Structure 1
């Protein structure tokens, strides 16, 4: 029968040290070596992905609107655009929109070329603002004011709903994702005849959903119909558990 390396070590130790009474030390050394090998083995683990989603009602509407004029020269085009946008801003403030919720995002001036593509025929000036509406009851009136004040120079680029403070929704979605992961891990542990141990690692993905876009109004013959709908906050979490 082949002799294991450990057995050979013990035998050699016994032969060399028997006279000095060190036989027990040789056996203990081999046992300790075997114990270290066993403890260094990889622990049994299960890795699962859990998902959690919650929905909330948007409480904020953001409108991105531009005033655009075409003029024979750069100064005329820019002056007309700036004057019209200033009228819009003043009207928004009078309506109750806080100035801190009105932010200029662009002021552009571009030459326009004639049919030959070489000579400048006019200049196009654009001034763009983001308007944050926190009182949704004023949303329709706010958009109506922008369009009626801006007239044909008005460009409604985008309208989007969002949730200003979604911290509670995020906490709820995160908790649901973890519980989902834990339920999955517990099932796998039961199926494998083991128990769920301590958590080894956690990583997550996700967060608030993107703002909900709304189709921009084409005309202001009547009030703009607006519905906030629901916004989803979702999380995906990957958890590694020890199996015992």
Structure 2
């Protein structure tokens, strides 16, 4: 029965373990997970200006003018030029279906420009976004929240994952009257920085009052996680 013990333990505690070399000696495989939650301290805003006209140059001039005002506004807010990324010009011809002639007919041009803005302070988020809309932005993309100290937070999550793996090994070994020996191998799963879409509550920006705009946004937290797979030898 003792020879069956490692097999039973390994099957009982292996969850999503990646392929790795296993020892011939009695062993167990365990996962460890660590999580750290933090409030975002930076955010990337994406807004666009879309103009339609039968005259392409007229639409372009209007879009360029609004984008120029938006860039000037951002610089007035103290945002560095390196954090303001204006897109190139996009022009699309539009058509509409004429039921009488049963043909697609030219329906003007759509000209668009967009700008990505990195805010190094989340506190500016609500007011800057409100100001961009008032200046001429008529499309708002999904804001991306991030963590400037992600590497530090991931290191903490990784340490928690190590601790969790060791605790799991000890618990399962005790359940089978075994003892945890030396670690045989470690497989750390590399996590990319999480897509920064935390829990965010957004309401319509109906008021010009700064306090009302600020209250309409509630930025939640971002989870930084780390996972480690470990193989431990079992002592008799």
TM-score range relative to shorter protein? 0.7 to 0.9
Corresponding residue SS for 1:232: strand
Distance 1:164 1:104 in 2: 23
Q: Deviation per CA, 1:149-169, whole angstroms, max 9, x where unpaired?
A: 11xx52112223221221221
> Greater helix percent: which structure?
1
Q: Please give the TM-score of this superposition, normalised by the length of structure 1.
A: 0.74
Give CA deviations for 1:168-219 in whole Å, capped at 9, x if unaligned.
2101111111111111112223333433222222223345433125466644
Look up the match of 2:71.
Answer: 89
Residue in structure 2 matched with residue 233 of structure 1 by the alignment: 224
Q: In the aligned structure 1, how far is the partner of 2:165 from the partner of 2:74?
A: 48
1:67 to 30, 34, 49: 49
> Alignment partner for residue 86 of structure 2, among 100, 104, 114?
104
Tell me the matched-pair count.
202
Deviation for aligned residue 1:221 = 2.1
Q: Which moved more, 1:160-169 or 1:202-211?
A: 202-211
Distance 2:25 2:225 in 1: 32
Counterpart of 2:187 in structure 1 is 203
- The Cα offsets for residues 10-50 of structure 1, whole Å up to 9 and x where unpaired, read as xxxxxxxxxxxxxxxxxxxxxxxxxxxxxxx9211100011
Correspondence for 1:181: 165
Is structure 2 residue 154 aligned with structure 1 residue 163? no
Contact map agreement 1:208 1:232 (CA 8 A) in 2: no
Counterparts of 1:67 and 1:193, CA distance in 2 = 68
Which has the higher Rg, Structure 1 or Structure 2? 1
- CA-CA distance at 1:63 after TM superposition: 1.1
Once structures 1 and 2 are overlaid, which stretch shifts more, 122-131 or 220-229? 220-229
The corresponding residue for 1:47 is: 29
What TM-score do you get using the length of structure 2 for normalisation? 0.77
Residues 66 and 141 from structure 1, CA distance in 2 versus in 1: closer, same or farther, beyond 3 angstroms? same
2:157 alignment partner, SS class: helix
Alignment partner of 1:183: what SS? helix
Task: Tell me if structure 1 keeps the 8 A contact 2:119–2:125.
Answer: yes
Match for residue 127 of structure 1 among 113, 122, 128: 113
CA distance in 2, matches of 1:103, 1:215: 26
SS of equivalent residue, structure 1 residue 86: helix
CA distance in 1, matches of 2:204, 2:56: 28
Change (3 A) 1:219 1:190: closer
* Equivalence map 1:6-21=2 (5 Å): none
Contact persistence 1:157–1:216 (CA under 8 A): no
